[in-house]
Structure 1
Amino acid sequence: MNRRASTLAVVSMTAIAGMALAGCSGGVAAGKEKLELWFWGAPPAQQETMQKVLVDGFNASQDEYELEVNFDNAVDKNVQVALSANRGPDVVYGSGPAFAAAYAAEGKLADMTPYAEKYGWKDRILDSMYESGTYDGKLYSLPNSIEDIGVFYNVSVLKTLGVEVPTTYDEFVDVLDKAEGAGLYPSVTGNQGWKPVNQNYISLFLSQVAGGKAVYDALQGTIPWTDPALVEAVQASSDFYNAGYLGGKDYPNLNFDQSMKLLSEEKSPFFIGPSLAFQFASNYFSDEAGNTEDLGFMAFPTINPELPSPYYTLGTTASLSINEASKNKDGAAMVIDYMMSDDFAKQMNETWPGYWAVPLKDFDLDAADYDGLSAPFVTAMQNTIEGVNAGDYGYFAGTFFPPATAAAFTDIDSVWLGNTTAEQFLQKVQKVFDDEKAKGLVPPLPEPAN
């Protein structure tokens, strides 16, 4: 969903209309009631993993329902069309809690609170993740995975530059400068084809400069978005961009897949991005290529010395909800419960690292049980969960901000490109936020420790 620029494609209006007209399942397949989930157009190997672990696993686990997953590059648009017509899949896959909140407000998603009580989700899921899916005191979505915005690095490039893996922000900037001096990209990333990628980097700087507590206070309305700490964070993101540290001049021309390819080709020491990008790394770092050990991942070095180190920017990859129009809500809830389990997380991460860090309070996965890129991904997510439990985190906009406010932060490049000042930008954000806060669209959030 959001931030998947490298996989999105244009789909004909005929295909959109065809999926939108598909009714919520209620038919019988092999003596079972049919359930549908529409998912983004994952590559073939990942589709195979999902078929084996989710579809075949769920279908074998019970004898009431038959789950089908449809892979669709235009799933965002198709879900929007279908829900507006009171049709569509039973399990609604979305871009995150902000996506779900907007549909919950329109009555398009089912209240999952009774299922949360039945299955014990509140006791099982990280508090911050559970609360992010609530609206007006009721649960409407659960995230399929947590993520952090950190730094992928190429060990071989660092050795060539004669430096160690940086542990402080000053060391990190020194390596960025050395890379540029050596004719490399300081780091690689970009928003080609999907402008909401910008949310990664403004979220990162709001967390790393202003801190999660300041962002929390702005979301509660106790300080304005034009608070000096937040203005400083926006300006810091602009300074970082204009120093060439986000893909240089190629930021508009790169996406995550291309960036990971450049990292594997030793064109840069770093790829700054969300941990979900592990799923792209598997295309370029592998046992077959003999370079798996070259890829590392670390938390972004803490910028503000008053914040703990490491300090995380907590987000989600997607959200799972139940269609209000579904004829099989109980079955849809069973699917979501199946996915909110330790066994499901263990199996999915064997071959699909990056997308399935199920937000369990007890993420009981052992990196020693995994090969290839799954091992560093599991370690990274265990560290993130430890930081979340300690309260050492800020917020990813697309997960925790109300939807229009998150969208407003997508335009952070207006500051980066000098079209507006940091304070003017945040004044516009404030107007959008005030409207959404008045409508009750701000999700309830646990307060970070810092």
Structure 2
Amino acid sequence: MKKRILYLVLCLIFVTSLFAACSTKSSDVSKDSTSSVETSNKSISKSETKDFSGRTLEVMLDKGGGGSFYEPIIKRLQELYPGLKVNYWYDLNGNEVFRTRVLANNAPDIFNLNQGLFSYYSAIEEGLCLPLNDILELPTMDNTQKLKDIIDLNLMKQKGYIDGKYYMFPDLLFTAGLWYDAKLLRDNNIKVPTTWDEFMDAAAKLKGKGIYAIGYCGTMAHEYPLSYWFYPMVCSVDYETYVGIQNCDPSAWKSEGMKEVVRRMEELRDKGYYDASTVALGNSETQMQFIARKFAFLPCGSWLEAEMGDAWPDDFELTYLPFSGKKDSSGSDYVLTSSLASSVSSTTKNIDIVGEFYRVFFSDKTAIEGQIKVHQNGMAIKGFGENYGHLLNKSTEQVWKAIDQGVKGFASLANTWYPEYPKQAGNAINALMTGSINGDEFMDRMEALFQSIKDDPNIVKYKFGS
């Protein structure tokens, strides 16, 4: 409690300087330079005259794998409603800036933040997020249906669905797993692995060519190796162990399935198949090492091709590996399916404009096509593949084809429910892969962490289904 009070005091002290820094990162795409006019909190009504002249909508996006995908939405919104001003900005420290603005009673109307650093569930419990049920009742742009009829509500229920209320919109859907350069394997006569033994055979041959088998972004170990490599492998080895992790069961870290996963990680490390230099690299630097073919397999999301833009060599054949660690052909491979999500501030004075934002977001064809062309990922719209799949890049298409062919999707929620956990897990994975700790110490550390979470009465516990 003392630390929290101190944190709040420091935030208040530095609020002015943070606002100044944030303003340099803000982007005003308004066609109208009229200053914002504060209005009362309006109710959502499909019959309301939509004249937003002289008003300002504030949108905050923690720019990451989705790129600037909000821009086509905002552009379309302003085309439809001339005179509306939209202030939107990107900030990699968005979670900190958001909290500071909350303290100053100046929260953005809409915010999309990194779920590895920002706990939406804590924000919901604190009353910072507005229930979205009323927005779902709004008509689509062609007035033929309601938003709730065209949005996949099952996907919405994966995150931020509490006591019958929706608090988080899945803005885009991404998948994550291992990626490789098909040309690299082909040129070195290496078979694309489909079982763990084949993966280790490929790793041995790659080492003989002076190439590491795998590397990952160590400075974001709470996300990249944990969610995109470790989790899929746990699922393939023993899915019940994965369910135990999501349910914060300390014993999951000492299960036979976990022991096998840890044994594999130690084997990769001890045989020199892991590029330990990547533990100190950021996301872009790690991906540039991958592009330079320093290592062959990269844990990442389906945004990879779009995110690296023009950095790809002409002869690089980026390919999704539909393998996560199954022992033999009788097992299953898994791919993480998740979303970048947005919420609405409970203090917004622009709920009517917010409603129009999401109507355009999910039901305006121009806006939908515009954002897909930027982020190159799926959306929680029914019939998405049939209607918009042709807009995806080749590598993303491969993932959805693999899912159609039997690769199983899985969701991860423990990272969001228990925000301290992924940070500690990422640190432990880094320590294990660099040899700072051994497998037993890794499992002991994670078991103790989960026991402390389980025993803490101040931490809300959630139930994960299969």
TM-score (norm 1): 0.77
Matched, 1:202 2:202: no
RMSD: 3.8
Could you tell me which residue of structure 2 aligns to residue 267 of structure 1? 294
Q: In 1, are the aligned partners of 2:37 and 2:54 still within 8 Å (CA)?
A: no
Please give the residue correspondences for 1:4-83 in structure 2 after superposition, counting only pairs within 5 Å.
Answer: 16-18=18-20, 27=38, 31-41=53-63, 46-47=67-68, 50-51=70-71, 53-62=72-81, 65-83=84-102
Say if 2:354 is the partner of 1:364.
Answer: no
What amino acid sits opposite 2:18 in the alignment? Answer: I
Identity %: 14
Q: Deviation digits for residues 226-282 of structure 1, max 9, x if unmatched?
A: 451453365246426524778522132223322332333233332222223233332
Is contact 2:195–2:327 with CA below 8 Å preserved after alignment? no
Contact residue 109 and residue 348 of structure 2 kept, 8 A: yes
Aligned position for 1:6: none
Partner SS, residue 132 of structure 1: coil
1:166 matches 2:193: yes
Q: Counterpart of 1:357 in structure 2: which amino acid?
A: G
Decide whether the 8 Å contact of 1:314 with 1:393 is kept in 2: yes
Equivalent residue in structure 2 for 1:148, among 175, 192, 212: 175
Q: Which runs of 5+ in 2 are unaligned?
A: 1-13, 27-35, 40-50, 139-145
How many pairs were matched up? 417
Alignment of 1:125-140 (within 5 A): 125=152, 127-140=154-167
Alpha-carbon separation, structure 2, partners of 1:166 and 1:433: 38
Q: How far did residue 81 of structure 1 move?
A: 1.5
Note the C-alpha offset of 1:101.
0.7
**Aligned mates of 2:372, 2:121 — CA distance in 1:** 28
Report the counterpart of residue 326 of structure 1 in structure 2. 348
Question: Residue 272 of structure 1 aligns to a residue in which SS?
Answer: strand
Pairing of 1:87-126 with structure 2 (within 5 A):
87-96=106-115, 99-118=119-138, 119-121=146-148, 124-125=151-152
Q: Residue deviations 1:266-325, cap 9 Å, x none? A: 33332222223233332322xxx5336x22122333425597533222333x22000111
Query: Contact 1:37–1:91 at 8 Å: present in 2 too?
Result: yes
Distance in 2 (alpha carbons) for counterparts of 1:90 and 1:276:
26
Structure 1 runs of 4+ aligned residues shifted over 6 Å read 19-22
Residue of structure 2 in register with 1:404 after alignment = 420
The 8 Å contact of residues 101 and 135 in structure 1, kept in 2 or not, is answered as no
Paired residue secondary structure (1:421): helix
Relative to 1, partners in 2 of residues 1:164 and 1:231: Cα closer, same or farther, differing over 3 Å?
closer
Q: Flag the 1:399–1:333 CA change in 2: closer, same or farther, 3 A.
A: farther
> Alignment partner of 1:396: what SS?
coil
CA apart distance, 1:26:
5.3
SS in 1 for 2:298: strand
Tell me if 1:300 matches 2:323: yes
Query: 1:307, 1:65 → 2: CA distance?
Result: 57
> What is the DSSP-based 3-state SS (H/G/I as helix, E as strand, rest coil) of the residue aligned with 2:55?
strand
Cα contact 1:129–1:142 (8 A) shared by 2: yes
CA distance in 2, matches of 1:16, 1:160: 51
User: Is contact 1:210–1:232 with CA below 8 Å preserved after alignment?
Assistant: no
Contact 1:34 1:68 in 2 (8 A): yes
Distance 2:98 2:423 in 1: 18
Q: Does residue 1:290 correspond to 2:314, yes or no?
A: yes
Show the counterpart of 2:447. 427
Work out which of the residue numbers 333, 337, 353 in structure 2 matches 1:310. Answer: 333
Compute the displacement of 1:154 (Å). 1.1
Read off the aligned partner of 1:360 and give its amino acid letter: I
> How has the CA–CA distance of structure 1 residues 383 and 61 changed in structure 2, closer, same or farther, with 3 Å as cutoff?
farther
1:357–1:107: structure 2 CA closer, same or farther, 3 Å change rule? same
SS at match of 2:206: helix
Shift in Å, 1:102: 1.2
- Check 1:93–1:60 CA distance in 2 against 1; reply closer, same or farther (3 A cut): same
Deviation at 1:15, TM superposition (A): 5.2
| Cα 1:339–1:402 shift into 2, 3 Å | farther
Contact 1:297–1:376 at 8 Å: present in 2 too? yes
Alpha-carbon distance in 1 for matches of 2:64, 2:250: 41
Amino acid at match of 1:262: Q
1:64 Cα offset (Å): 8.4
Further displaced range: 248-257 or 409-418: 409-418
SS of residue in 1 equivalent to 2:214: coil
Q: Deviations over 1:59-90 (max 9, x none)?
A: 22446854332122322221122224332210
Once the two structures are overlaid, the 10-residue window that deviates more, 232-241 or 92-101, is 232-241
Shift of 1:339: 2.9
TM-score by length of 2: 0.75
CA displacement 1:320-359 (0-9 Å, x = unmatched): 0001111112322432343345844433232443xx4223
1:411-422 counterparts in 2 under 5 A? Answer: 411-413=427-429, 414-416=431-433, 417-418=436-437, 421-422=441-442
